[in-house]
Structure 1
Amino acid sequence: MTDVIQVTKRESTGTAATRRLRRDGHVPAVLYGHGEENQHLAIPEVQVKGLLRHHSKTVQLSGDVDETALVSDMQWDPLGIEVLHMDLIRVNLKEKVELAVPVELHGEAVGVREGGLLLENAHEVEIRCSAGSIPDSLVLDVNDLGVGQHKTASDLTLPEGVELVTDGDMVIAHVEAKRDEEIAEAGDALAEPEVISKGSGEAEE
């Protein structure tokens, strides 16, 4: 998905100017690439939040700059709530780019129905594709995954024109057997002190 966002050029790039920018409801950004001069930009915070909701990888810049760009990086505050800065790379929609995309597990693993536990080993993979056909995510079908089995990056469903850059042998998800909870419960029972009623053990007169 390609979102259109309004940008304005920034003349001041110091720390104080950046803080003022954020107080005014904008996120600072830098546009670079293709051998052209870097552009320091300001993007309305509400539009940045829209990018996050849509999981957009490419954006069409309008306003002071008319470019197509790839969202290369986002810097977050320490709590991971607010975007503090964005890096944008100039692209055309036909050129090949490499980037990370999230992985979504689909289905209910047969091993889970048998009492196992489904664990996700990796949440994203690197791919190569044209900038105009970047998928929001890649799907891994785990329906047939049994206890003790795993699936790797090579098992991902790749849309047409998308190449996997990540090693195909990298494990994405696996199902492992649960621990024997009965043993743990028995151990807890043995550890419980015996409750002695008042007066027990005293000799009768």
Structure 2
Amino acid sequence: MTDVIQATKRDSTGTAATRRLRRAGNVPAVLYGHGEANEHLAIPQSQVKGLLRHHSKMIKLTGAVEETALVSEMQWDPLGIEVIHMDLIRVNLKEKVELTVSVELHGEAAGTREGGILLENLREVEVRCSAGAIPESLILDVNELHLGENATASQLQLPEGVELLTDGDAVLAHVEAPRAQQDEEGTEVQVGAEPEVISKGGGDAEDDA
């Protein structure tokens, strides 16, 4: 999916300028690549949030610049809530690009009906494809995944023209049995129980309060 983004040029850079930009509801961005000069841009924060909702990798810039670009990197605030900077790469829709794509698990693993738990090992893989054919996500069918088995990157459903760069043997998901509820001696233990607190010196815990 390609989102259309309205961009304006930034006349000034630096810490103070970018802070003012963010207070005004914009995200600073840099557009580079193809041997052309870097463009310092401002993108409305609302449109950046739209990119995140759509999981878009490709964007069509309009306004101050007319370019097709790949979202190369997003920098987040310390809490991981807001995007504070974006790196964009100019691309031709026919050229090959390398990027990470999210993995979606589809189906109900047979192993969950056998008492197991389905766990994800990797949520993204690296692929190579033309810039105009970047998939929003890749599908991993887990219906036939039984207890004790795993699914690897080689089992992903790849659209035509998409090449997997991640090792095909990389485990994306597996089904494992729940943790044993008995210790090696057969003594029953309570899963998730709080560990016993032993106070220093062997006294009661209240003595140390």
TM-score by length of 1: 0.89
Identity of aligned residues (%): 74
Structure 2 letter corresponding to 1:123: R
User: Does residue 1:186 correspond to 2:188, yes or no?
Assistant: yes
Task: Identify the residue that residue 64 of structure 2 maps to in structure 1.
Answer: 64
CA distance in 2, matches of 1:121, 1:187: 28
User: Does residue 1:12 correspond to 2:28, yes or no?
Assistant: no
Distance 1:8 1:187, change over 3 A: closer
| Structure 1: tracts of 5 or more residues without a match | 189-205
CA distance in 1, matches of 2:48, 2:187: 50
Q: 1:26 offset after TM fit, Å? A: 0.4
CA distance in 2, matches of 1:187, 1:166: 40
Structure 1 letter corresponding to 2:90: R
User: Does residue 1:110 correspond to 2:135, yes or no?
Assistant: no
Task: Identify the residue that residue 200 of structure 1 maps to in structure 2.
Answer: none
Q: 1:78 offset after TM fit, Å? A: 1.1
Task: Identify the residue that residue 129 of structure 1 maps to in structure 2.
Answer: 129
Q: 1:187 offset after TM fit, Å? A: 3.5
CA distance in 2, matches of 1:161, 1:40: 33
CA distance in 1, matches of 2:177, 2:137: 28
Structure 2 letter corresponding to 1:171: V
Q: Highest CA radius of gyration, 1 or 2?
A: 1
Task: Identify the residue that residue 46 of structure 2 maps to in structure 1.
Answer: 46
Matches within 5 A, 1:24-173: 24-173=24-173
CA distance in 2, matches of 1:101, 1:87: 17
CA distance in 2, matches of 1:176, 1:47: 41
Task: Identify the residue that residue 194 of structure 2 maps to in structure 1.
Answer: none
TM-score by length of 2: 0.87
Q: How many equivalent residue pairs? A: 188
For residue 46 of structure 1, give the secondary structure of its aligned residue in structure 2.
helix
Retained in 1: the 8 A contact 2:181–2:189? Answer: no
Please give the per-residue CA displacement for 1:154-199, whole angstroms capped at 9, x wherever unaligned: 00000111010111110111111112236698345xxxxxxxxxxx
> Where do 4+ consecutive residues of structure 1 move more than 6 Å?
none
Structure 1 letter corresponding to 2:146: G
CA RMSD of aligned residues (A): 1.3
CA distance in 2, matches of 1:153, 1:19: 42
Task: Identify the residue that residue 196 of structure 1 maps to in structure 2.
Answer: none
Structure 2 letter corresponding to 1:108: E
CA distance in 2, matches of 1:185, 1:63: 70
Structure 2 letter corresponding to 1:45: Q
CA distance in 2, matches of 1:24, 1:182: 59
Structure 2 letter corresponding to 1:143: N
Please give the per-residue CA displacement for 1:5-44, whole angstroms capped at 9, x wherever unaligned: 1111111111000000000000000000011111100001
CA distance in 1, matches of 2:52, 2:123: 17
CA distance in 2, matches of 1:178, 1:124: 25
